[in-house]
Amino acid sequence: MAANRWFIDSETGVLADVLLCPPDYYEWIPSNDIAIQTMAHGGNIDRAALRRQFDELVATLKSEDVSCHFLVPHENMPYEVYTRDSSQTTPFGTVVTNLSRPERVGEEKEIRSFYAPDEIWRTCTAGRIEGGDIHIIRPGLLAVGVSGGRTDAKGAAEFISWFEEAGWTCRMIHFPEHFLHLDVIFCMVAENLAIAAVDVLDEADLEWFREQGIRILPVSYREAMRDMGCNVLSLGKDRVVSPRHSVRINQMLRAEGLTVLDPELNQFSRGGGSIHCMTMPLRRQPL
């Protein structure tokens, strides 16, 4: 396989290929506050609904001409379904990240078996960094979330340094570890348009986004944490995949002229992840 078969330079270019993992061994585990709250209130996974919802997501992507590729699920990897975290496609090649949680460390082996050796451009080794914190917003602009948990300052600094060497404008976005990843509180939905928990992000970071020409639509804390409402996936050409239960957010996006595709995904959101977490874009058209 040729090097650089996979390429993205934005979060909003037309999505052509995406990496997913079937939820054969997916479980809610007390590794994040969302799952902890779900379990504390007696929640249990409906495995038939779980599979049905995953299949609906895949069907939604395929209906929009996105080619779906799949990792092999493993019994000892309950959150392997969240493919966003274990690797990151870049304009320069694939980066293997450095996962934080012990139950996820084994995912690196499966990731390396998916990619051809010459497709892997870099491997993160300084600190910790996970793909849910990495936002390649558009050519030349990168934001990396830093909570000190899943991604720490050393991990973010190493990743950012590679882009700064290429002349990109980069910023670390700091937020409390309670929120897990940046994509729980911020996501691009279209070119220069994002949704975010504006009461969570620091005002200096909000101002930085505005200076980059990015307009932000507000999402509440409750929508972000209860519904994973910010955790959406842009398909490009003003199309976005957003969970069906995010009713107000989906109405807001449609009012902006976006086409909203809304599969049901509450079996995943109640465990602390949703569409953005479950999808690692492999190839987008250059923005």
pLDDT tens digits for range 124-133: 999 999 999 9
Per DSSP, which regions of 36-79 are E strands? Answer: 67-70
Using 50, 70 and 90 to split pLDDT, how confident is the model at 30? Answer: low
Are the beta carbons of 99 and 149 closer than 8 angstroms? Answer: no
Q: What is the pLDDT of residue 270?
A: 79
pLDDT over 60 at 197, yes or no: yes
Asked if pLDDT for residue 145 goes beyond 90, the answer is: yes
pLDDT band at 32 (very low <50, low <70, confident <90, very high): low
**Mean pLDDT computed over 238-267:** 97
88 within 8 A of 95, measured Cβ to Cβ:
yes
Query: In whole angstroms, what is the distance from residue 36 CA to residue 59 CA?
Result: 30
Model pTM? Answer: 0.94
Strand partners for 24: none
Give 154-185 pLDDT, tens digit per residue. Answer: 999 999 999 999 999 999 999 999 999 999 99
87-112, pLDDT tens digit by residue? 999 999 999 999 999 999 999 999 99
Amino acid identity, position 212:
Q
Q: Which residues contact 163 (CB under 8 A, 6 or more apart)?
A: 90, 142, 170
- pLDDT of res. 1: 37
Rama region for 207: left / alpha / beta (φ>0; ψ in -120 to 50; rest): alpha
Structural domains in the chain plus CATH codes: 15-284 (3.75.10.10)
Element (H, E) at 240: strand 239-241
CA distance 281 to 132: 12
Neighbouring-strand partners of residue 170: 142
Q: How far apart are the first and last CA of the chain?
A: 24
Helix (H, G, I), strand (E, B) or coil at 281: strand
